[in-house]
Structures are given as structure tokens and as C-alpha cells.
Structure 1
């Protein structure tokens, strides 16, 4: 069991930093093996496909901000809700936007890891 509440409090910042940098190795450590992402248009990505976007160079962030984050813990799991703002390019296409994001964070092997993320567009640019 994780006894350091600060690790959970720091998790959203560590995740956002790794996303901003496109740091595949840091993200590999932060995501569960069965990680699932639901994108803003309903597509689903597993861990490998999430990481491949960075490893291939297809996804590049000029800016990536994770704000208005609240984290609620439920035993060995937690839910984080926040706003993701990004200036990004994917395969040459503009992906700038703002999204309401829900993360499911779980305790695994004494560490907090991201098991799922769901993005919904807010309409703001």
C-alpha cells in the first residue's frame, strides 16, 4: 500500500510533464500495462498505440497544460479531473484545443499509475 500521499498529489504534474516532452520512457513507467485512452472523438488507444504516437514523432506538443486538477482517492484508486490545453500537431494536422479530462489512477506495485484517460472537447481554443 502506498503511504506517501504526496506521490498521488504529484502524479498529475509528472504525467503532464511527460506528455509535454513526449517522453516515451517516463510515460511507459506511468501507465499500467492495460492502459486505455478514449480520445475526444471516441477512438480508443491501448498503451502501445498511445506511446507510439510519440516514439514515431507523429505527435508533437508546442504547449501542453494540465490545470484545474482535482484528485479524489478511493482506497487503492483515485480519479483526477482537470482541463488539458494543448498546442499540438499530429501527422502534420493541427490538434490545438482544450479538453476536460478524467483520469483513473491505480496503485500498482507500490506506485501510482494511470489506468485510463478520457478526453472530452470543451469547445474553447
Structure 2
């Protein structure tokens, strides 16, 4: 299924982003991101622009396997063609041969494309929480 068919709600777009990362599906990830995408709080302190995040994702998926991920406790606030999604996340797997397990909170800002009615990612922020 294409990213477009799975992004008709803000929550679906967030879930598709995580599924694309787990699968290493960079083409789907590219469809989900706006050109001027901003990310902060991940492995790299701050990422500006879709091309930069795709380059980082390409490096990550080359060295990593995400064995599982989970999203929960969604709170979605829609303001017309903009939505803010806050949620809890966890993921585990291996990176460069070493196991990892991470938990955190995330906030994503999405913008709805009025022509297609699909949600695209404008910004992503994560905070780690102690487990």
C-alpha cells in the first residue's frame, strides 16, 4: 500500500512514518515529508529539510534493524489544515550490531494537502523518557 493511501488522517500519517522507518522504505518516507521539514530531539540534535532527513534515514537503515515499535496515547488537535499529534513511542532493534531499546514522547506537526486530502509531516520532535 502506498504512503498516500495511508495518510488520510493525522494519526495514520504518523503511524505510516514509523512503519516506513521500520521497513527502510525511504520512498514512502519521502512522500510523507514536506520540503521544509524540521526535526529535533532524535539521534541528530536538529535536522532541517526533507533532503537532510532522508540522507540521515538512509544512513540509519543501512546500519540498523528495527525489530519492533509501538505508538500509544495519541492526542490529536486539528486546526483546519494543520494538526498536532502528541504520543508515546518505543522501539527496539540493533544498530551497528548493538542492541537498542528506546522509549519517549513525540510531537508531530502535520499539514493537510487540500488537493489530495493527505497529511504530510512538517515537524517532528522526540524526547527520551527513562524506563
| Superposition TM-score tier, normalisation by shorter sequence | 0.7 to 0.9
**2:92 counterpart residue number:** 87
TM-score, normalising length: structure 2 = 0.77
Q: Over the residues paired in the alignment, what is the CA RMSD in angstroms? A: 2.2
Name the TM-score, length of structure 1 as normaliser. 0.80
Query: In structure 2, which of residues 98, 101, 106 is the aligned counterpart of residue 101 of structure 1?
Result: 106
* Superposed counterparts of 1:1-125, under 5 Å: 7-8=8-9, 9-40=11-42, 43-46=45-48, 47-56=50-59, 57-108=62-113, 109-110=115-116, 111-124=118-131
Q: CA shift at 1:92, angstroms? A: 4.4
Q: Distance in 2 between matches of 1:84 and 1:38?
A: 15
Contact 1:54 1:60 in 2 (8 A): no
